[in-house]
Every structure is written in structure tokens, then in C-alpha cells.
Amino acid sequence: MSRIVADKAIPFLEGVFEPYADVEYLPAEKIDREAVKDADAIIVRTRTICDENLLEGSKVKVVSSATIGTDHIDLKWCGSKGIIVRNAPGCNAGGVMGYVLCALYGVASRKNIDLRRKTVGIIGVGHVGGRVKMALESLGFRTVLCDPPRAAIEGPYEFCTLEELLRQSDIVTLHVPLDDSTRDMAGRVFFKKMKKGAIFINASRGEVVDEAALLEAIPHLGATIIDTWRNEPDINRALLDVVDIATPHIAGYSYQGKQNATAAAVRAVARVLGMSQLYEFYPPKDVPEAESVKLSLLGLSQGEIASMLSYNYPVFTDDFLLRINPGDFERMRKEYRYRREFYLDY
């Protein structure tokens, strides 16, 4: 029988593999070399670094991450050892889109910022950035896009340079993966090129932002919304004190997003290990209170939109909980009550 080691914080997973495999659920910090040495598969989150230190000498055939990113996995090393790596691209796109809208309208209400006729610069236009683009445009925002990998493949016509995006944008939102091209991308030069009074949002990866540079820039920005941080869970308290919205890396923590992520992780392992009964697995959907809802926002005033969004996701509750006890960052993530997604009636 195959053996699987899984992060116990991944929802909807317990009981799924048990008819076909020996499964051990562990906290992320307990998934070490000893734990995985006899495993055929591991199912992880971003908190488990999957590299030579963890996997050398193990039987692991597949690393399946219930996340959109793979920056916690040494892809080159795994490839050299024949270890298959799978992730869950786009799983949390709906959740992050909802977070961006709720945080944007929430902070605009608190700071009396008029969002009419504003231009939003979206950096990274993949699954998540694409959903953000569609939602914002449906609400009347103009968007400008920067995505060098897509521009290289599709041509530059839909995209602009980073410098041009920063020059035009009243709101800048990051939706990029973490790699060598994006690490520390938002640094001193980046913030100097932003418009004075612009809104800055990071719901991608903490290491994309030079936090010292952001601290210097905040007095010149209109508002700052931060969900992802460097050195999580030991986050920068000085930055926490001065941003307008601070949340514990939960922008994508919707019920549907977690279902999507677990489904992708299970299917990947099932296909590698030949468990055909789980090739099309998806967690149960019969939870009425968690079903996604359609919001009709067209024609409403900014205040009315803000009120409806706040009702569906009161982002300032998460902000308050993090501020009163930032040391609980990791616990808040592990015990987060997944919110239901909403979609817009375009």
C-alpha cells in the first residue's frame, strides 16, 4: 500500500486517501526528512520547503502543493531526481478578487477616497490578476496591465512596461509569482515612480516587496493594503503599525478556493499513484451557507458598493484581529473560517 504524508492544515483531505493508502497527517513543522523518507507522496502548503534537505534519500515520487505558488519547492532539484511536482494554479483566484475589491472599497470609505474614473495597474495578469481585471472593469475602472512573460508570448499590445504602469495608475495591485524576476520588485525606485497619493495593494508574496522601501514610501501613498509579508509568521511590526489594512495572508482563503486547492492536490497524487477512483475528486459541495453568491453592483454608488462588499466580507475584522495579536499570525491562518466567494453580475 502506498504511503502519503500530508499537512494536517489542508482542509477536506482527511478520509479521502485512506481506502487506498496509508496516510499520516502532520503539522507543517513536523514534515521533516525522517517523516517523509518512506513516503510515496507528500501533500504540502507553502510552509514546507521541499528541497534536497527534505527529500534526499526518500521514496517520494510526487510533491503535491495545495497552493498556487511553487517558490517553496526546488523545482530544478526535484526534476533532476525524477520527482513530479504539482500545484493548484488559479485555485484561489475568486477569493483574492473578492479580497481586493472589499479591501479597496473599504479603505476608500475610511479615507474618503473617490474611486470614480480611477486607473488600476495590475502587475501579473494570470488566473488571479485576470479575475481582478474583469471585476474592476465591470465596475468602471480603467485598467493597465504589466506581465512581461505574457507580453513575450502574446505580444506587447495589451501590456505596458512597469514604468508606464506606475506612471498612469491611481491604484497598483500585485499578483505575481515569487521568482528571481519578481523578488524585491517593489523597491525604492518602484515607489518613487508611483503617483503621489496612489493606493498600493500586495496580495501576492511578501518577498516581492522591499518593506524598508515601502515604509519610506507610505507617507506619500494614499493607502496601503498588505496581506502577504516577508518572514511570515514573524512579520514586520513597524510596517503593520502604519499600513491601512493588514491581514495574515488570507486573501485567497475562500471556501471554494480551498476546495479547488485540495481537489487539485488529491487529483495530482491520485494520477501519479494510479488511484483511478480519485482522478476526478472534488470535496463535497453540500454546504449551503458556504455557497458562492452573485452580487449585482452595476449602477450603485460607491458607498452602496462598499456596504454590500463589507457585508459579504468584513475585511476590517481580519485587520483588527491581526493588529491586536500579530504573534498569532500562523494560528489565524490555520484556524481561519473560510469565507464564501462572491461573483459579480456583469
Catalytic residue among 47, 249, 339, 340: 249
Catalytic residue among 3, 205, 333, 340: 205
The DSSP bridge partners found for residue 24 are: 5
Q: Is 184 left (phi over 0), alpha (psi -120 to 50) or beta?
A: left
CA distance linking residue 151 with residue 277, whole number of Å = 40
Supply φ then ψ for residue 63, to 5 degrees: -105, 115
Grid cell listed for 187: 523597491
Supply φ then ψ for residue 78, to 5 degrees: -60, -45
With residues binned 3-state (H G I as helix, E B as strand, rest as coil), the percentages for the chain, rounded to 5, are 40, 15, 40
The DSSP bridge partners found for residue 26 are: 7
Is the CA virtual torsion 311, 313, 315, 320 positive or negative?
A: positive
Is 86 one of the catalytic residues? no
Instruction: Please answer whether residues 154 and 126 qualify as being in contact, where contact means their C-beta atoms are separated by less than 8 angstroms.
Output: no
Instruction: Please answer whether residues 159 and 146 qualify as being in contact, where contact means their C-beta atoms are separated by less than 8 angstroms.
Output: yes
CA distance linking residue 145 with residue 48, whole number of Å = 32
The β-bridge relationship of strands 223-226 and 245-246 is parallel
Catalytic residue among 183, 232, 271, 330: 232
DSSP, collapsed to helix, strand or coil, labels residue 318 as helix
Is 232 one of the catalytic residues? yes
Is 175 one of the catalytic residues? no
Instruction: Please answer whether residues 91 and 267 qualify as being in contact, where contact means their C-beta atoms are separated by less than 8 angstroms.
Output: no
CA distance linking residue 296 with residue 73, whole number of Å = 40
Q: Reading across the β-sheet that carries 142-146, which strands appear in turn?
A: 142-146, 119-123, 171-174, 199-202, 223-226, 245-246
Instruction: Please answer whether residues 27 and 333 qualify as being in contact, where contact means their C-beta atoms are separated by less than 8 angstroms.
Output: no
Supply φ then ψ for residue 113, to 5 degrees: -100, 125
Residues recognised as catalytic: 205, 232, 249
